[in-house]
Amino acid sequence: MHPAPEPTLISATTLDHYNQRAADFWEGTRDHDVRQNIQALLRHVTAQPPLRILDFGCGPGRDLAAFRAQGHLPTGLDGSPEFAAMARAHSGCEVLLQDFLALQLPPAQFDGVFANASLFHVPSRELPRVLGELHATLKPAGVLFASNPRGQNEEGWNRGRYGVYHDLAAWRGFLQAAGFVELEHYYRPPGLPLEQQAWLASVWRKPA
């Protein structure tokens, strides 16, 4: 087995991939229907709205705009300068420019963290630390939503991006070790046979 690349190389190469394709990524994803995922986060948050939500890996800002349209107070976070600028323009929200592997998050700040198609870019050896940082930035009883392309725990480069393709058992292990309690999980896209549902979505709570 080849040793995993250094985290700085993983971040730099993956972010360069997105920076070079930011406009195409926006055009290709702006109309994706992720209402199922947004609702999965919101229905488990017990705090009173408007909710403070961290959109972790917000990309060009599609979901930031959706949360804001519902009256919430979302903050974006992305490591790509191109995405961060687009997200600010598309949503009008604050967007933190931060590498996933070098986070600087305030403690107990957010009612929810929405990590849609983002955490799978975190190498498995770095994931416990990153999940711990997300756990810390949630308020007590706060909720984490995550959706990742699933697999058999393969890890490596895929068309210029680094990814880890967790199965449910491995993903549960990481989240439970970080102190989260599982609320629900499901596979996407809805309405397809399981073998055609390439995405694993899960919702987790930080104990009060």
Residue 73 has pLDDT above 80, yes or no: yes
Query: What's the pLDDT at 7?
Result: 85
Spell out the domain ranges in the chain: 7-205
Q: What is the CA radius of gyration of the chain?
A: 16
- Structure-block tokens of residue 71: 């009256």
What is the pTM assigned to this prediction? Answer: 0.93
- 119-163, pLDDT tens digit by residue? 999 999 999 999 999 999 999 999 999 999 999 999 999 988 999
Cα 52 from Cα 69, distance rounded (Å) = 13
Q: Are 91 and 68 in contact (CB under 8 A)?
A: yes
Query: What's the pLDDT at 25?
Result: 58
What one-character DSSP code corresponds to residue 70?
Answer: T
Query: What's the pLDDT at 1?
Result: 45
Residue 99 has pLDDT above 50, yes or no: yes
Q: Which has the higher per-residue pLDDT, 170 or 21?
A: 170
Residue with tokens 């919101």: 42
Residue type, 201: A
Provide the H-helix boundaries in the chain.
7-20, 22-29, 35-42, 62-69, 81-91, 127-137, 168-177
Provide the H-helix boundaries in 116-157.
127-137
Helix (H) or strand (E) holding 77: strand 73-78
| CATH code at 7-205 | 3.40.50.150
The β-bridge partners of 113 are 54, 144
Residue 170 has pLDDT above 80, yes or no: yes
Q: How many CB atoms lie within 10 A of CB 201?
A: 21
Query: What's the pLDDT at 34?
Result: 86
Residue 94 has pLDDT above 90, yes or no: yes
Query: What's the pLDDT at 28?
Result: 63
Cα 202 from Cα 208, distance rounded (Å) = 19
Query: What's the pLDDT at 23?
Result: 67
**Percent of the residues in the chain that have a pLDDT greater than 70, as a whole number:** 93
Query: What's the pLDDT at 204?
Result: 98
Give the model's confidence band at 26: pLDDT under 50 very low, under 70 low, under 90 confident, else very high: low
Q: What is the mean pLDDT of the chain?
A: 93
Q: Is the peptide bond before 50 cis (omega within 30 degrees of 0)?
A: yes
